[in-house]
Amino acid sequence: MTSTALPTTDELRTRARACLRTIGAQVTEGDDFPARTPVTGEHLFGLRAATATDVEGAVAAARAAFLTWRTTPAPRRGDLVRRLGELLREHKSDLADLVTVEAGKIRSEALGEVQEMIDICDFAVGLSRQLYGRTIASERPGHRLAETWHPLGVVGVVSAFNFPVAVWSWNTAVALVCGDTVVWKPSELTPLTALACHRLLARAAEESGAPRDVHRLLLGDRTVGERLVDDPRVALVSATGSTRMGREVGPRVAARFGRSLLELGGNNAAIVAPSADLDLAVQSIVFAAAGTAGQRCTTLRRLIVHRDIADTLADRLTTVYGRLPVGNPFDAATLVGPLITTGALDRMRHALSRVQVDGGKLLAGGNRRLAEAAPAAAYTEPVLVRVAEQTDVVREETFAPILYILGYDTLDEAIALHNDVPQGLSSSIFTRDQREAELFLSAAGSDCGIANVNIGTSGAEIGGAFGGEKDTGGGRESGSDAWKAYMRSATNTVNYSGELTLAQGVSFL
């Protein structure tokens, strides 16, 4: 089914300008690249891109601010993040509107993304009083051995379109309380949300007394990001995007002995065991596979179902997929908004052609919607495909709402299928058998950074570290001990004995 008529581009342009004005963000218009909306697929207005001089100036300013910020007591750094969280609460609706205009997310998901920002601010404020080191037992009498943690430097954040504000906040809130400064290069597909976030953080800095340049924003294409990646003054590059992008970023940062935190592709799977609660599984699967129009790195892309229940589950999913409302993301009834570009739709269609050549059977979806109303936009029905085996196209990540359904006979077979892809981000199992659940969570089970039981692959909370293994890059952001990526550790030895005692019993002089 299709939801209500789409807003016009003029209406979206007016809405975006009103939100930016309320937030206080200034838009410097130009001819370098367009701000656009996937809701209609059309341009909103032109923007100016950062030049090489702008990048140099931003990094230099952030480096200068770091020299002050690093010695500011961490709880005082937390005051800045606390104020940011308050401003996000105040402007939650405005920022969610911008997320929908630029990324095409349905209203509840857009509001949820801003809530993630608020939550990570709360987390980081608490963290500002918990940047703990440790005391270590020394083998030498009269000596104290300790580990301390110190701010790292300038953090470069390169973010993707699909979570245009949340991923920035995961990095920025934590980096700031750790004593780092941040230079942000957002996706060129979502510059307006970046302008809004930057203004809110600038206001928080003004009101909390933090240095103005603890955060700088650079708009533009990949050349802007490349300059940030290659700058030796950028101590850590946190980059979110495709595996292809990560293969370029990682070696470039390593070549100058910098640090990188990579959040890359996911080809996430869920195993559905014979004992699963199918009502719970269906709800979880549909949200994980069709939510955000399949454009989450944690989107469910492979469903590995025991053969005894595969037909039943496939039939139930086919029924639900047939009534998913696709269309205007501002309509409260809509569950599936647009793909980000028509290029994404082309890639989706190419993947479907390949899997059908391989023998895959299309069960539901795949039709384009609203093509006449918005020919430059990319609305499509989420797709279910039954496949006999994990072919090359199934092992790849297609950033679109395609869910492949495979069968299995034994849990060992299911886990082997699950792990037999290059990516290792998120995973889940639906089962009422505790032994199956524990095996899946064990070292012999899922090889992903996120492993869930009786819940889908998407919708992670900020309290846990977020990230994955293999081609997903190995990075960890957000909660748990992810903060350590934004700091450097030092091992300290203090001799209070009055005598020189060498380690390992060495005698000298």
Place 188 in a pLDDT band, splitting at 50, 70 and 90.
very high
What mean pLDDT do residues 243-255 have? 97
Q: Does the pLDDT at position 469 exceed 80?
A: yes
What mean pLDDT do residues 286-315 have? 98
What mean pLDDT do residues 29-33 have? 95
Measured between its terminal Cα atoms, the distance across the chain in Å is 86
d(CA 493, CA 429): 47
What mean pLDDT do residues 328-342 have? 98
What mean pLDDT do residues 27-50 have? 96
Could you report the per-residue pLDDT of 423-462, keeping only the tens digit for each? 999 999 999 999 999 999 999 999 999 999 999 999 889 9
Catalytic residue among 263, 381, 436, 477: 263
CA angle 489, 492, 493 (to 5 degrees): 160
pLDDT at 110: 98
Could you report the per-residue pLDDT of 355-369, keeping only the tens digit for each? 999 999 999 999 999
- State the angle between helix axes of 74-90 and 107-127 in degrees (0 to 180), rounded to the nearest 10: 160
pLDDT at 3: 61
DSSP symbols for 171-201: HHHHHHHTT-EEEEE--TT-HHHHHHHHHHH
d(CA 114, CA 167): 10
Place 401 in a pLDDT band, splitting at 50, 70 and 90.
very high
Could you report the per-residue pLDDT of 343-353, keeping only the tens digit for each? 999 999 999 99
Sign, CA torsion 246/168/44/199: negative
Looking only at the bridges linking them, the beta strands covering 402-408 and 465-466 are unpaired
Q: In the chain, what percentage of residues exceed pLDDT 90? A: 98
* Mean pLDDT taken over the chain: 97
For residue 46, which of 23, 27, 19 has the smallest C-alpha distance?
Answer: 27
CA distances from 287 to 367, 416, 463, 472 (A): 19, 25, 21, 22
Place 250 in a pLDDT band, splitting at 50, 70 and 90.
very high
3-class DSSP state of 88: helix
The H-assigned helical ranges of 188-338 are 191-208, 222-230, 243-255, 278-290, 307-321
Place 148 in a pLDDT band, splitting at 50, 70 and 90.
very high
As a 3-state breakdown, the chain gives helix, strand, coil percent values, each rounded to 5, of 40, 20, 35
Task: Please indicate whether residue 11 is annotated as part of the active site.
Answer: no
d(CA 259, CA 246): 13
d(CA 166, CA 113): 6
CB-based contacts of 164: which residues, under 8 Å, 6+ apart? 99, 102, 103, 113, 186, 187, 189, 190, 193, 194
pLDDT at 1: 67
d(CA 434, CA 443): 16
- State the angle between helix axes of 9-23 and 191-208 in degrees (0 to 180), rounded to the nearest 10: 10
Place 509 in a pLDDT band, splitting at 50, 70 and 90.
confident
Which one is predicted more confidently, 421 or 4? Answer: 421
